[in-house]
Amino acid sequence: MKDGVHVEQVTNVFITKTYPNHYTMVTGLYAEDHGIVANEMYDPVLNETFSMNHMTMYNPKFWEHAYPVWITNQIQGHRSGAAMWPGTDVKIHGAFPTHYLLYNESVSFQERVAKLIEWFTSEEPINLGLLYWEQPDEMGHILGPDDPGMELVIMEIDNLLSHLVRELKRAELWDTLNVIITSDHGMAQSSRDRIIELDQYVDRDLYMMIDHSPDVAILPAEGKLDEVYNALVKAHPHMTVYKKEDIPSRLHYRHSTRIQPILAVADEGWEILQNKSDHFNLGNHGYDNTLPDMHPIFLAHGPAFRKNISKQAMNSTDLYPLLCHLLGLEPLPSNGSLDNVKDLLVSAAPKEPQDRSRQESYARFFGVFLGSVLVIGFLVVFIKYLTRSQVSALRDQHGEIAQPLLQS
């Protein structure tokens, strides 16, 4: 922060879950526009489902409503590298990143960093790198962000960031790359005392649950839309239920065939389950994107960024035009704007696109290393717990994410 820029809160897109927001960051589009509207989806046009828990997430048809930045970067003559970033191991519009790793949670942070540096320093270097890391999202779900044990998770992330900086300095990249650290969402504390059970209000034979708590996408059985909606609309004071056409326009979550006819949204800290025997997380995200606890932060360092500058807020949709500016790319239309973040830059004058031969010689000096090092379940908790004393070792970690790519 002392040598770069700091944005305290990034307003991400609804729903504040993993896949919609990762794709927003690299397309600049709302979920209803880029098509990845949830971690679990049903497309009635394709008559196919998408799930982060199954191989269906590798179906390119779900991803091709948009062109992510690595595809645009390559179309315009450059090279991209990705270490586990969601979607980068999917063949989108007929292409993968120039270099990429198939998702495997067992690959350490250090190995991911080493691979990116290898690509940045090769004879044909990349100019764009994307890095994903599972923490603190994974343990945030297990413990909940208010658990004192989360302090150790945050301390470990701080150590990993130190490793990243050391390795970039060792490779003589630290002063020439633009490094961005951000995430897809925040995290809220849940409780078994704050569970809404749908089985108390509606027969489960009347509907299918497509996506899960705290935003429940409901596909009613044929001819049962009004019956299901009327059973749920006033069922619980901490659950708001919309017909698709009534979802507030501010959420930008209405104009997609993959958004189901009924959407139930829990208040912050509440969970919507069919009954209490369903899987339950002590920490969760997905709530309204106006809630501060759902917001990531944003840090950046490099020759393009000012030093010791703090800004209160930005939008996650603005990251894509910022990346295109840093890379000298002609951006595709998006819901973001460079004007919203140009005050973070040394100069907001557009960069001249480099010819390919020159780019190959000097890419390492003008690259953008987009490090989403933190899939942050609780960036506000980052501040809250840094000052706490160290607690006893965490319980053994349980993988929330298993191959192919099981995030939430």
The dihedral through the CA atoms of 92, 94, 98, 102 has a sign that is: positive
Residue 343: which residues within 8 A CB-CB, separation 6 or more?
309, 311
| DSSP states of 192-228 | TTSEEEGGGTS-GGGEEEEE-TTEEEEEEPTT-HHHH
Of 380, 319, 378, nearest in space to 344 by CA: 319
Rg (CA), the chain: 21
Catalytic residues: 18
Q: Yes or no: say if 344 and 39 are a contact pair by the CB < 8 Å rule.
A: no
Beta-ladder partners of 82: 100, 130
Number of residues that make up the chain: 408
Counting other chains too, the contacts that 339-345 makes at CB distance below 8 Å and 24 or more residues apart are 340/314, 340/315, 341/314, 343/309, 343/311, 344/5, 344/7, 344/300, 344/305, 344/306, 344/309, 344/311, 345/304, 345/305, 345/306
Of 192, 204, 255, nearest in space to 232 by CA: 204
Angle at 279 between CA 273 and CA 280, to 5 degrees: 80
Token pair in block for residue 280: 């339950």
- H or E element that contains 357: helix 356-366
How many Å apart are CA 191 and CA 140, to the nearest integer?
13
The dihedral through the CA atoms of 162, 164, 169, 170 has a sign that is: positive
* Residue 307 burial class via C-beta count within 10 angstroms: exposed 0-12, middle 13-18, buried 19 and up: exposed
Tokens 């309204």, located at residue: 288
